[in-house]
Amino acid sequence: MPQQAPTPPELPRLPRELRFAFVEASWHADIVQRSRDAFFAEMARAGFGPEAIDVFDVAGAFEIPLHAQRLAQSGRYAAVVGSALVVDGGVYRHDFVAASVVQALMQVQLQTGVPVICAVQAPHHFHEHVEHRKFLQQHFGTKGAEAAQAVLFTVAGLRAIDAQG
C-alpha cells in the first residue's frame, strides 16, 4: 500500500504587516533556490505573499551571518532565514564552514532577539551527478518548507511570550 504524504501542520496566524528576510547563497543556486521556493510556498499557505518577504543574495554560506545580523538589527523583519549548500573544496573544510555559519546565526538571534532560522546544509559528500543533484533539490525543498514553519511557530511563540507581559 503506498504511503500517504503527511498532512501539513496547521500554521499559526500572524499579523499581515510582518516582514521576513531570506538570505540565500548563490553557489549551487539550482539547489539552494529550491529552499527559497518551498519557503515562499509555505509562507503563502500562512497568508504571507511574496511582498512580505525580501530576498538577499550572497556569494556563499560564509557571507550569510553578516547579512542576517544587519537585517535583524534593522528592525524591519520579524525573522531572517539563511539558506546555502556547503560542499567540500576550497580553503576551508565544509564541516568547519557549516558549523561556523550555524554558530554565527545563533549569536545573531541571541544578540538581536530576532529569530534567525538556518537552512544551511552540508552533506558529507557532494557529487555532481544528476541523481545526487535531484536528491539535494528535493531535500532543499523540504528544508525550505521546514524553515517557513520554524519562522511562523517561533515568531508566534515569541509574540505569545511578549503578550504575557
Looking at residue 90, its pLDDT comes to 52
Average pLDDT, the chain: 86
Say whether 82 sits in a helix, a strand or coil. strand
Name the pLDDT band for 30 (thresholds 50, 70, 90).
Answer: confident
Higher pLDDT, residue 91 or 46 = 46
Looking at residue 85, its pLDDT comes to 84
Name the pLDDT band for 28 (thresholds 50, 70, 90).
Answer: confident
Which CATH superfamily includes the segment(s) 20-163? Lumazine/riboflavin synthase (3.40.50.960)
**For the chain, what percent of residues have pLDDT higher than 70?**
80
The yes-or-no answer on residue 93 being catalytic is yes
126: nearest Cα among 84, 85, 87, 83: 87
Domain extent listing, the chain: 20-163
Annotated binding site for (2S)-2-hydroxy-3-oxobutyl phosphate: 132
Looking at residue 94, its pLDDT comes to 53
Residue position matching grid coordinates 535583524: 72
Please tell me which residue in 76, 93, 133, 159 is annotated as part of the active site.
93
Q: How far apart are CA 53 and CA 127, in angstroms?
A: 32
Looking at residue 1, its pLDDT comes to 59
136: nearest Cα among 53, 7, 2, 38: 38
Annotated binding site for 5-amino-6-(D-ribitylamino)uracil: 27, 61-63, 85-87
| Total Cβ atoms within 10 A of residue 122 | 20
